[in-house]
A and B are shown apart, each in its own frame.
Chain A
């Protein structure tokens, strides 16, 4: 089985990562008055319903740079990156990631305070080959970029 990443994870390399284990389940400090969790959008089981719950229909916008792999080795972990050029599309306050054919298309939504780059890297589950959407909200209007990712049937057993 070829390794996805032949270079091992050296413990030494990982020392640059530090972890502070707080035994007590400390409540997050001052919770920034975050926008409430878009429960309706998360509950939606169809793409259009999820988009409607996030706002009106998004228009495609070239200022959104949405990177996904053309082919994912496995649908359980699909790395994605959303980057918005603030000159081309200013005042972005929220970025959402949707996976069209997932049971619940809305995978994640990020509130972005002023001063934070509009840059998100994460990994999502993609149930089957379909279109992924990056939706940015700026001044109450929704903009989007989409890309298709093929999920291959891995392994021998099928």
Chain B
């Protein structure tokens, strides 16, 4: 799998040449401008195929069949829940959606990572401190719990680039930000009728 991603990265760098200050020059600048701090190590500055492909302004003309190949590759890499159970506990899901910490140099690595969903999405209608970078997910449960909807929602959380390449949303599963159980809890927070996301604001 590593070879495939590397291969795609090489093609990408070529197609992005018109746009970039030489890629290796920017890597050198970043290397001289940052220093590792606690869990935030310098390896984090090395880009993979998705990051390289998506490091261009909106509307930059990009090689479409290369992007399609990358999207396909991301879709195939999605790992569905081992036991086939998509929904966990929405109360724990609420905590994951609210917790903005995790993986920062200032965070305690022994603590669970947050999903920080409220940073970009409206969820429970009663919560006024929500972001608008992503669409509102209020009442998401109305979409029902068909196998297709469970799989779609799971894949969006696991690696949104499987559907929408260069989305701004983090790859919560693929990048190991959230555990399988945390993803299940967030799924419940979104889809469980009892979750405040699917209730009227009190």
Say if the two chains contact directly (CB < 8 Å).
Answer: yes
A interface list, Cβ under 8 A from B: 71, 150, 152-153, 155-158
* CB-based contact A158/B114 at 8 Å: yes
23 A-B pairs with CB atoms under 8 Å apart are: A71-B128, A150-B128, A152-B128, A152-B129, A153-B98, A153-B100, A153-B118, A153-B129, A155-B100, A156-B100, A156-B116, A156-B119, A157-B100, A157-B101, A157-B104, A157-B106, A158-B98, A158-B99, A158-B100, A158-B101, A158-B114, A158-B116, A158-B119
What secondary structure prevails in chain A residues at the interface with B? loop
Q: Which residues of B contact A152 (CB under 8 A)?
A: 128-129
A153 to B101, CA, bound (A): 12
Closest 8 CB pairs of A and B: A158-B100, A152-B129, A157-B100, A153-B129, A156-B119, A158-B116, A158-B101, A157-B104
In the assembly, what is the distance between CA of A153 and CA of B129, in Å? 7
Identify the closest chain B residue to A154 (Cβ).
B129
How far is it, in angstroms, between the C-alpha of A153 and the C-alpha of B114 when the chains are bound? 14
For the complex formed, measure the closest distance between the CB of B134 and the CB atoms of chain A, giving whole angstroms.
13
Q: Which residues of A contact B118 (CB under 8 A)?
A: 153
In the complex, which of the residues A150, A155, A157 has the most CB atoms of chain B within 10 Å of its own CB atom? A157
Q: Considering residues A152, A155, A158, which has the most beta carbons from chain B within 10 angstroms of its beta carbon?
A: A158
Distance of A69 from chain B, by nearest CB (Å)? 13
Nearest CB of chain B from residue A130's CB, rounded to whole Å: 16
What CA separation (Å) do A155 and B118 show in the bound complex?
A: 11
CB distance from B106 to the nearest CB of A (A): 8
Q: How far is the CB of B170 from chain A (nearest CB, A)?
A: 12
Cα-based distance from A5 to B128 in the complex (angstroms): 22
Complex: A153 Cα to B98 Cα, angstroms: 9
B 79-111 contacts with A by CB, 8 A:
98-101, 104, 106
CB distance from B74 to the nearest CB of A (A): 25
Q: Determine the residue in chain A with the shortest Cβ distance to B100.
A: A158
In the complex, what's the smallest C-beta–C-beta distance from B100 to chain A, in angstroms? 2
**Considering the chains assembled together, what is the distance between the CA atoms of A152 and B130 in angstroms?**
10
